[in-house]
Amino acid sequence: MNPSTYVRVTLKNCLREQEEEITAFCFDYGALGVSEALKFEQNDPANYQPLTIFTDVFSLEVFFQTHPGDIFYQEIYKKFQISDYEEHLEQEKDWLEEWKKGYEPFEIVQDIWIVPSWCTAPLNAKKIIWMEPGMAFGTGTHETTQLVAELLSSAPIETSDNMLDVGTGSGVLAILAAHLGINNIVGIDIDKESLRVAKDNVLKNSVQEFVDISIKDVSELSDQYTWVVANIIDGVLLKIKLDLLKVLKPGGYLVLSGILEERWPAFKKEFIETENLKIIECKQKGDWIGVLLNA
C-alpha cells in the first residue's frame, strides 16, 4: 500500500461501557489512533460553556497505516459483538498546503485588501494587509470579522482617536484600524500564540508605530478608549460586559461581533438596553450579527 495512504475504519454501535476495552484492543492490533465524533450543545447563551453529549451507543473511528486484516473484524465481533463497520482508504494530505489553496486575496472593505503572505497582491489593491494567521483566529474571511471591518469603515473615525481590540487574534482588525486612520491602537489577547502571530503581522505590515500588541485580559486594563472592538462569541461578550464598558470613554464607540441571530433579542436586552447604549448601526452576515454602539 502506498505510504501516503491510510485506512479509516468506523466501528458502529459501540457500547459506552466497553469504550476503554475497544480502544485498547484496536491499539493492540496496530491502530495509529482512535477518535470519537463528539456532539455538543449549548443551552445557556449567557454562559458559553458547551456541554459534551455522551450516548450509551456511539461510533468510533480507528486509523491504520494499512488494512487491519479480516482477523481484526472477526476478533472484534467475537469480543464486543461489533459487526457494523465501514472501511475507507484515505489519502494523506499536507493540510497546511490544502488550507492555503482556499485562502486567496480579497477586498475586506473598499480599497483595503487582505493578502496572504504567500500570495501576490492584486494590482488594483490600494491598501494591503499582509496576513499570516498561523494558529490564531482572524484571517478576515469569517463573517464576524467582516462585520467589524464594515462597521469600522463607515464609522466616524478621527486620527486622534484611540482603540482597544479585545481578543485581537491574528491582529487583523487592529491593523485594519491603522489603515482606517486611527493612530493609537492596542490589541490584547490571553493566548500566547495569538500574541506571537499578531506581533509578527504588525511588523509585516509596518504599523508598529500605531499598533501595540500585548497578552492581557481586559479586566486588567485601566486606560480608556474612544473605540473598543470585541469580535468574540456572544456568551463571552455578556460575561465581560462590565470590563468592556469600564475601558470605554464617555461618548465612545463599542463595536461588537460574534452574536448569533437566534440570541440577538436576548443579547440586545441584556447588553444594550440595560446599559442605555445607542445602536448606531447593526449588520448581519449569515447567522451572525455585528453592531456599532455609542455610550
Instruction: Identify the CATH number of the domain in which residue 35 sits.
Output: 3.30.70.120
Report pLDDT digits (tens) over 11-68: 999 999 999 999 999 999 999 999 997 776 766 655 556 677 888 999 999 999 999 9
* 124 within some domain: no
Asked, for residue 40, whether it belongs to a domain, the answer is: yes
| Residue 146 confidence (pLDDT) | 96
**Domain co-membership, 66 together with 185:** no
Query: Do 289 and 147 fall into the same domain?
Result: yes
Asked if residue 62 is part of any domain, the answer here is yes
The parts of the chain modelled with pLDDT lower than 50 are none
pLDDT, position 69: 93
Q: Is the domain of 70 the same as that of 156?
A: no
Residue 250 located in a structural domain: yes
Q: What is the DSSP string of 173-231?
A: HHHHHHHTT-SEEEEEES-HHHHHHHHHHHHHTT-TTTEEEEE--GGG----EEEEEEE
- Our count of domains for the chain comes to 2
Question: Which three cell numbers mark 207?
Answer: 504599523
> Last residue of some domain: 92, 126, 157?
92
Structural contact between residues 174 and 187, judged by C-beta atoms closer than 8 angstroms: yes
**Is there a single domain that holds both residue 147 and residue 287?**
yes
Tens of pLDDT, residue by residue over 181-208, are 999 999 999 999 899 999 999 999 999 9
Q: How many CB atoms are closer than 10 A to CB 108?
A: 22
Model-level pTM?
0.74
Q: Which of 70, 92, 114 is the last residue of a domain?
A: 92
- Whether residue 135 lies inside any domain: the answer is no
Tell me, what CATH number does 167's domain have?
A: 3.40.50.150
> Does 206 fall in a domain?
yes
Residue with cell 509596518: 206
Do 148 and 274 lie in one domain? The reply is yes
27/150 same-domain check:
no
Contact in structure between 228 and 252 (CB atoms under 8 Å): yes
Domain hosting residue 229, numbered range: 143-294
Comparing CA positions, the residue from 283, 167, 288 lying closest to residue 229 is: 167
- Is the residue at 170 inside a domain? yes
Q: What pLDDT does residue 166 have?
A: 98
Distance of CA 294 to the CA centre of its chain: 26
Lookup result for grid cell 486509523:
63
Residues 169 and 281 in one domain: yes
Same domain, 151 and 263: yes
> What local confidence, expressed as pLDDT, does residue 51 receive?
76
Residues 149 and 45 in one domain: no
- 162 and 280, same domain (yes or no): yes
The answer to whether the beta carbons of residues 228 and 118 sit under 8 Å apart is no
Say if residue 53 is in the same domain as residue 178: no
What number of other Cβ atoms are within 10 A of residue 181's Cβ?
Answer: 12
Cα 278 to Cα 121: distance, rounded to the nearest angstrom:
39
* Residue 183 within a domain: yes
Residue 262 DSSP code: G
Which of 58, 76, 92 marks a domain boundary? 92
Instruction: Tell me the C-alpha to C-alpha distance, in Å, between residue 120 and each of 106, 111, 140.
Output: 11, 16, 17
Q: Rounded distance, CA 201 to CA 261, Å?
A: 31
Based on the domain organization, do 171 and 268 belong to the same domain? Answer: yes
